[in-house]
Amino acid sequence: MSVTAHPSGPGARDVADDPRWDEIIGIVAKETSIERALLVPSASIEALGIPSLDMVQTVFELESHFDIEIPVLADKAGAEFATVGDLVAHVLAALDRARLPHASAA
């Protein structure tokens, strides 16, 4: 059974089926020192025990690696990602936005 990051939200998709999933999860695993096998879309960031500082560093590394900006709420410092799927969905959205021709003009 597959799990979506936002099963009831608009544009919900199975993030683990995206071809970029492995690369994103590889970075998350490296930055958080969490085994890849545990990094499934439905896994709670809190339950995995990932500290907020590690989430911030992970977001920075993802931005640097993919040359994108991942919108986060300044006062949440990455805590707006409840699950691994939420984080990956945000990265995928940022990657998709970066591919748009008008993205750099905004």
Does residue 2 belong to any structural domain of this protein? Answer: no
How many structural domains is the chain composed of?
A: 1
Does residue 25 belong to any structural domain of this protein? Answer: yes
CATH, residue 31? 1.10.1200.10
Does residue 66 belong to any structural domain of this protein? Answer: yes
Label residues 62-98 b or e (16+ Cβ within 10 Å = b).
Answer: beeebebebebeeeeebeebebbbbbbbbbbebbeee
pLDDT in tens, the chain (106 residues): 233 333 333 333 588 899 999 999 999 999 999 999 999 999 999 999 999 899 989 999 999 999 999 877 555 555 578 999 999 999 999 999 888 765 444 4
Does residue 21 belong to any structural domain of this protein? Answer: yes
Claim: this prediction has a pTM higher than 0.85 = no
Does residue 77 belong to any structural domain of this protein? Answer: yes
Domain that holds residue 38: 16-99
Does residue 106 belong to any structural domain of this protein? Answer: no
Does residue 11 belong to any structural domain of this protein? Answer: no
